Chains A and B, each alone.
Chain A
Amino acid sequence: MATPENKLAFDGGWEYAPAPESTDHISIKKRYELFIDGEFVKPESGKYFETINPATEERLSRVAEASAADVDKAVKAARTAYAKVWSKMKPAERGKYIYRIARIMQERAREFATIESLDGGKPIRESRDIDIPLAAAHFFYYAGWADKLEYAFPGRRPKPLGVAGQIIPWNFPLLMAAWKIAPALACGNTVVIKPAETTPLTAMKLAEVIADAGLPPGVVNIVTGAGKTGADIVQHPGIDKIAFTGSTEVGRIIQKALAGTRKSYTLELGGKAANIIFADAALDQAVEGIVNGIFFNQGHVCCAGSRLLVQESVADEVIRRLKDRMATLRVGNPLDKNTDIGAINSRQQLETIQKYLKIGKEEGAEVYQSAARLPKKGFFCKPTLFTGVSQSNRVVQEEIFGPVLAVQTFRTFNEAIAKANNTPYGLSGGVWTDKGAKIFKMTQDIRAGVIWANTFNKFDPTSPFGGYKESGVGREGGLHGLDAYLRLEA
């Protein structure tokens, strides 16, 4: 039990000097066009939208806004490339192209990481150590499957679906592009992909890589734009499959639009995962897992551990440790190598988070925020805890998609399971205990696609990912991820 005067002090003291990643090794064009049929082409409408740096609110570039006519052009290019080239190519040859993309991406990793942090606000430590290496790893992994598909599905004849329309979110821009494009290409499909409107730049850099890799024209087409462009892709009759990652709200609209069509789809949607800490857990390491679970990527993670369920006998101790750890989290310039929490992706998202902070207070939750000093400009949010919350509170039920953790306690194993499962979502979960048997029981009983034991937010191309209930349909990654891009004939 801590006495009030016993408090560790983390503020002041030895200050780390700024350690910014340099930007002189990158080039961002003033304007980006659409990438259709292997060429950079102007949008039919002549319209462009701005993409800004969320840490400074300064404009980085202007990006083409694709209209229905542009989407149509892209789908036609993809169809031609599919019918004439890509589906006819020897699978081993397809694999070579995908390997080439992976290698070029690795060579240009530093450039990709810097641009990802500039455009999206995530700390350079994460884009450098996680996003970009994982994106390259996905291309490497699926390149290997290209000529081995029969072995993945013994006794079946795997056939590509055709043209895949893919719509990806702003939280992991390049990584989500890799999750979508790599398996689609490996299975022999061609692609029309739309990056999110707040983070289009690394996708446009990827277009350069794809061009450099000599991929046949039309195999990958990148169309930039907002929701309307996404809807044009979903509704286009020439599309055979839709792969969407984003909010449950938009996922529902897409599912309705696709009902009764021949298009197949995978949807990777929201989450409100429980991170469950038992009294016998390695508490200091569990606290590290809580921090990685909710403050990784500013909490803009669909599988974030946004609910903490902690066994009551260690609740005070865990919260004390968590608050001390939060005091050491550095919020600020995403390009600084010592930044732990970067900028919130957009003003709109910051407003959503602030709305929930208000709701939490109105619901009677106790709010704790670290003493971090926020930059004057840009979109930033302090790491936040809500304690004293109930299952019926909106901050416990709804996805906030920010660095905000709702803390609840439990007494028994069954109570933990009941609370963990009492959500419309089912994307991920975390269990912290020193007992192996408890881990196995937990993983059986929690209804979620991914459950981490004594760790959190770990990703690997070989591991399938996807949700139960309103967290989505289908699986991405691993062998399961191939299934979503194939028709299996007897």
Chain B
Amino acid sequence: MSSASVSRLPGATRLPDLSRVPAVDEVGVNERVARFQSRSIKAKAKIEGLKLTLSMIDLTTLEGQDTPGKVQQLCQKAIHLHDSMPGLPHVAAVCVYPTMVSVAKDALEGHDINIASVATAFPSGMSSLDIKLNDTRIAVDAGANEIDMVISRGAFLAGDYQLVFDEIVAVKEACGDAHLKVILETGELGTLDRVRRASVLAMHAGADFIKTSTGKIHPAATMQVTLTMLQAITDFYYETGRMVGMKPAGGISSAKLALHYLVMLQETLGNAWMTPEWFRFGASSLANDVLMQLKKQETGVYQSPDYFSKD
């Protein structure tokens, strides 16, 4: 590609031609996913994969009943995953509502753990742009360095791509230096074709990450949806030279499933994405299952879940 288009594309603010996005065949996607799942990850590879998984977790609590105390506990867990096992990484980030960002900021003081906040009238996004931008600014001002926004699914499904695009561009601007993750809420998009188009739209609008789900809608993340988004990231990378991160969220609670995601990531986007900088798991209960598996690798036996702190 010409150098002129390289310099234009990363900061582009033009809605891409979504009719040029390749079609997605669901049957083929299922078959590919089954191949990833048939990979056998053992011994050293398993331990490495499990530790990598831990380092990629966005430890999340997004409940109406969240309290400062619960968020503080979550932050402690983020720092001290299981101190009786030496050599464990810490998680990548904690993910909370905007009102809890300042609590998390205090609790994580001095630690290299990111603070992600959902914003833009999460989870439905059913509000005005003004409120969404304010929501974003409140979170950033309180200390969030990662913003997880939701797209307007209603507008997207109605075909008003320009509105969805413009909203992302505006939120990206409101983020300032904070990284922007764009939640597509794939469970509401209905088809993989729409997932792929929404991914392309979000990346062109400036998303640093694309993310599957809020966790409030079923189905949340699936390997099929994630593969479709990873393939969109591949195309975007070849087209623009810009790497975009991926965050499946919701429904990934077992270590085995997390390893399948890593296999899929490695065999789709390659080594460069195999770091917390470019891949995250949005999850609340995954960490403990990974810890239990790591302990089992070490001792040969499974320990009771009671040996691992819940939060």
Contact = CB atoms under 8 A, between A and B. Distances in A.
Contact of B24 (A3, A6, A280, A284): A284
A13 B27 contact: no
B238 A328 contact: no
A5 B241 contact: yes
A338 B39 contact: yes
A340 to B, nearest CB: 9
A455 B270 contact: no
Interface string A31-73: 0000000000000000000000000000000000000000000
Interface stretch (B28-36, B113-121, B182-190): B28-36
Given A3-B241, A5-B241, A14 B48 contact: yes
Nearest to B39: A338
B45 A282 contact: no
Given A10-B271, A14-B48, A281 B23 contact: yes
| Interface size grouping (class) on chain A | 35 or more
B14 to A, nearest CB: 18
Nearest to A16: B45
Instruction: List 5 A-B pairs, minimum CB-CB distance, nearest first.
Output: A285-B28, A13-B271, A19-B40, A282-B25, A8-B270
Interface in A1-19: 1-3, 5-6, 8-19
Given A1-B1, A10-B267, A337 B40 contact: yes
A327 B269 CA distance: 11
Interface residues of B, number: 37
A305 interface: no
Contacts of B238: 1-2, 6, 320
B231 interface: yes
Interface of A: 1-3, 5-6, 8-19, 125, 129, 280-286, 288-289, 320, 324, 327-328, 337-338, 434, 454-455
A326 to B, nearest CB: 11
A284 B270 contact: no
A221 to B, nearest CB: 37
A338 B37 CA distance: 11
The interface centre, meaning the residue of A16, A280, A338 with most chain B CB atoms within 10 A of its CB, is: A16
Nearest to B235: A317
Given A6-B237, A282-B25, A283-B23, 4 more contacts: A14-B49, A282-B24, A283-B22, A324-B270
A455 B22 CA distance: 17
A14 B270 contact: no
14 contacts: A1-B1, A8-B272, A10-B266, A13-B271, A14-B49, A17-B42, A17-B44, A17-B46, A282-B22, A282-B23, A282-B24, A289-B28, A328-B266, A337-B39
A42 B272 CA distance: 60
Contacts of A283: 22-23
